[in-house]
Structure 1
Amino acid sequence: MAATRVFFQFVVHPSLPILLSSMVPFSMRLLHAQLPVLTGNHQLSLDRLCQLQHTCHQVLSEVRRGYLPFVTEPLTPEDQQVAETLWMERLTRVKFCLANTLVAMQDYLLAVEVYEGLLEELPGLRSQLLSVMGRLHLTLGDLPSAQTLFSLAEDRDEKEEGEEERMVRTHINQGLVNVFLCHWQLAKDSFESALQLEPTNTTLKNNIAVCTFYQGYLKECIRELEGVVRWSPPSSLQPALLTNLTATYDLESSSAHSKKLSFLPLLGQHVGEGFPLSSLGLR
């Protein structure tokens, strides 16, 4: 029998608001740069994002001299401050998109470098960024570095975030370390502790079900995944969840095909045309 893989999930990036002011809105330029990822053309997306990053650096350089590109009159101190804040926010957003694209390309080391640069620019997101970097090191198989980063993530300014948010992230980090060590029950306990604080988090429910699978409880895993997928469409209809569920159907019985087909009406009702039907594992 061919090996079947099921996958854990974790969120890779925090998001920031972006201020817009252009004949061609900056958000449209950013969308234009990110769209190729959805068609599998990661390199084109990376090229466009790098060009946007270069543009942001150029404009910032001019703004810090007291001018805007194509404007002859110098900026007032107030306008200069507003412009610098605006373009720094745009540059930060581009860097997050760059990191996401690098993760999609599985270039985790370069993604970590991007996040390291963001640490200096966004001290208010230090704990979140350190956790993300730690999770990427886990993906690379570097447990000592991951544990070091997770520890640094706990050494934080009390004003940075709420206690509940910190505890959720701590439990998730502990759970992922235990997954790495194949300590499935300990990992499951950590994810369940986080779920008590965020009961609507579908990623945590997925991870708990996957721990159940690796403990050898196939039917219980299927029940948990089915409950998540049908729980609150469309937010719970995620490709990773369906991939895990249909993979367990293949292991359970020969009637897997009909069970997979039963999700088509649900997808037709709640998701758009861009949803990857390949996650159903239909042949």
Structure 2
Amino acid sequence: MSEINTTEFLNTNTIFTSERSTDISSDYHRDAWIPSENTRLILRTIATSTPGTCLPDRINLTMPGLTLQGDMVDTTKEASIHYLGDDENIHRNVLTSSDVTQDERGLRNLIQAGCYRAAVNLSGRLLAVYGQGYGKINYPSKHTPHSLQLWFTRLSLLAKLRQIDILKAESQSFDNLDKPDIYFIFYPELYGTRHGSMASFSFRLLLAEIPSYYGKYKDAIDNLYHILSITNKMIDNLNLNLTEDGNSTAKFTTNEKQDAIKLWSGRRSRILISIINCSLLTKNFILAIEVLDDLLNLSEWNNEQIDIIKSAIGRVHLFLGDVLSAEKKFTFKNDKHDTLNVRELIDRGLMAVAQNAFQEAFNCFKAASIIEPTNIMLINNMAVCLLYNGQLKTAVQLLETNVTRNPIKFLQEPVLLNMCTLYELHTTHCKQSKLHLLRQMNRYKGDATDISCLKLT
């Protein structure tokens, strides 16, 4: 049975708006990065040499390629044919990589439709155009912002699909995105003297986090602190009226400088949240609280954001079983459920869970679900509370009702796993109930769901 959800609060979307909304007149600040000394020397040599005459050794090149030959299969389709028969396949109506335009727009359409495996397949076709297809690892090829964005998308999808072996193998070629050929100045014939890195900040963050997907949490945290140290240096440089890389005196306006500092301060906060998430995965709750305190002490938060961060600290204290410390961090207007917002109701519910007061917890989650009726986490937590209160049948009915009412929204892995676990607790003859869920998945969902959540083996 899935546990009460206590980690959703660490989603950066609850704190930040998109950095694209930051009013910066060019990509100069978004592309900025401080290369290592070795990379800096190579780039300086390229910048002062005749184009095409300075070719770095292979060790200084980024040479990625696909390790997956052929396409990923639609496991939901395969399972439905296996368990329900070929006739069920006529109800399968999802996009494949061949059903969309063979470009970035097609990739976006697949992702929006929840067809992540098909999107991985299309990304492979698009990367092959850059000479980075199957079997091309360790073969030199040119990089562009577009090719690197394709790689970021592909690796993000592999992470979401938990295709760990492929993710690990295909990400290693990028190391920490510091090779000279990741910078614009490496290609003067294409970009002239354009400043900065072709790789997005989000790509750097993803690569830093990837070791955590295969259990190397310390490596991930070390990677994130390395990015944090560079980011802090760039903010320091801006405050000293230098460019982000510290190479020259800044020539931008005061407003542009402040916008740049705001951009990089926001990115610094995203790094800290990644460190917190990795700390929680490795159950290093003390580090998580320390970094959350650092995050809280940054000066850029409004009152709502401060409450969100305090709530996060309180929830980590609940992980530790320290209800008193958690209560000090949580902010409640009063004790009446009908006047608390969703976050406050969830916090109160989690406190009740920590005290084994499952009926009180259920009441809090139910009050929150009235405000946000499509919040999957709340419905899931309500079902768990019902189970602990001995109301197994009611817990099953709650989840089934929501799946029937809105299958596209509620046919999610945590819900499916909990439903199948409840079915097993309810009766030994539960296979038909599981097959009914498979039938709904086949008809309403894309190809991203891990079929093992149905526990059909």
TM-score by length of 2: 0.54
* Residue of structure 2 equivalent to 1:18: 19
Kindly provide the amino acid, as one letter, of the partner of residue 413 in structure 2: P
What is the identity, as a one-letter code, of the residue corresponding to 1:114?
V
Superposed displacement of residue 251, structure 1: 0.8
Which residue number corresponds to residue 307 of structure 2?
127
Q: 1:81 aligns with which of 237, 254, 258?
A: 258
The 1:261/1:104 distance shift into structure 2, 3 A limit, reads farther
Deviates more, 1:119-128 or 1:89-98: 119-128
CA distance, structure 2, for counterparts of residue 271 and residue 109 of structure 1: 39
* Gap change, CA 1:38 and 1:256, over 3 Å in 2: farther
Q: Is residue 373 of structure 2 the alignment partner of residue 199 of structure 1?
A: yes
Equivalent position of 1:160 in the other structure = none
* CA distance in structure 2 between the partners assigned to 1:173 and 1:213 by the alignment: 20
Amino acid of the residue matched to residue 279 of structure 1? C
| Structure 1 residue 147 corresponds to structure 2 residue 324 | no
Greater alpha carbon shift after TM alignment, 79-88 vs 264-273? 264-273
Partner of 1:8: 4
Alignment map for 1:64-79 (pairs within 5 Å)? 64-68=239-243, 69=245, 71-76=247-252, 77-79=254-256
Q: Secondary structure at the match of 1:216?
A: coil
Q: Which whole-Å CA distance do the structure 2 matches of 1:264 and 1:39 have between them?
A: 28
Kindly report structure 1 stretches of 4+ aligned residues shifted beyond 6 Å. Answer: none
Contact 2:374 2:409 in 1 (8 A): no
Q: How many residues align?
A: 268
User: Which of 273, 284, 291 in structure 2 is aligned with 1:107?
Assistant: 284
SS, match of residue 309 in structure 2? helix
Q: Which amino acid aligns with 1:50?
A: Y
Aligned counterpart, 2:384 = 210
Which region of structure 1 is more displaced relative to structure 2, 208-217 or 255-264?
Answer: 255-264
Q: Which amino acid counterpart does residue 257 of structure 2 have in structure 1?
A: Q
Q: In the aligned structure 2, how far is the partner of 1:238 from the partner of 1:41?
A: 27
Amino acid at match of 1:143: V
Task: Pick closer, same or farther for the CA change 1:46–1:217 going to 2, 3 Å.
Answer: same
Contact 1:178-1:186 at 8 Å conserved across structures: yes
Compute the TM-score of the two structures, normalised by the length of structure 1.
0.84
Give the Å deviation of 1:217. Answer: 1.3
CA RMSD of aligned residues (A): 2.5
Deviations 1:42-96 (A, max 9, x none): 3443232222111101211221221121642434434332221221111111111
d(CA) in 1 for partners of 2:416, 2:445: 14
- The aligned amino acid for 1:219 is K
Q: Which runs of 5+ in 1 are unaligned?
A: 156-163
Which residue of structure 2 lines up, in the alignment, with residue 161 of structure 1?
none
- Tell me which amino acid in the other structure corresponds to 1:92: S
Question: Relative contact order (C-alpha < 8 Å, sep 6+): which is higher?
Answer: 2
What displacement does 1:199 show? 1.7
State, as a whole percentage, how many aligned pairs show the same letter: 28
Go from structure 1 to structure 2 and tell me whether the alpha carbon gap of 1:237 and 1:48 turns closer, same or farther (over 3 Å shift): farther
Number of the residue aligned with 1:182: 356
Higher helix fraction (1 or 2)? 1
Corresponding residue number in structure 1 for 2:97: none
Instruction: Describe the SS at the equivalent of 2:409.
Output: coil
Give the stretch that moved more between structures: 70-79 or 96-105: 70-79
Q: Which has the greater radius of gyration?
A: 2
Unaligned regions of 5+ residues in structure 2, if any?
21-26, 32-197
Contact 1:67 1:73 (8 Å CA) reproduced:
yes
Residue 58 of structure 1 aligns with an amino acid whose one-letter code is K
Question: CA separation of 1:235/1:35 partners in 2, compared to 1, >3 Å: closer, same or farther?
Answer: farther
Distance in 1, matches of 2:4 and 2:405, equals 19
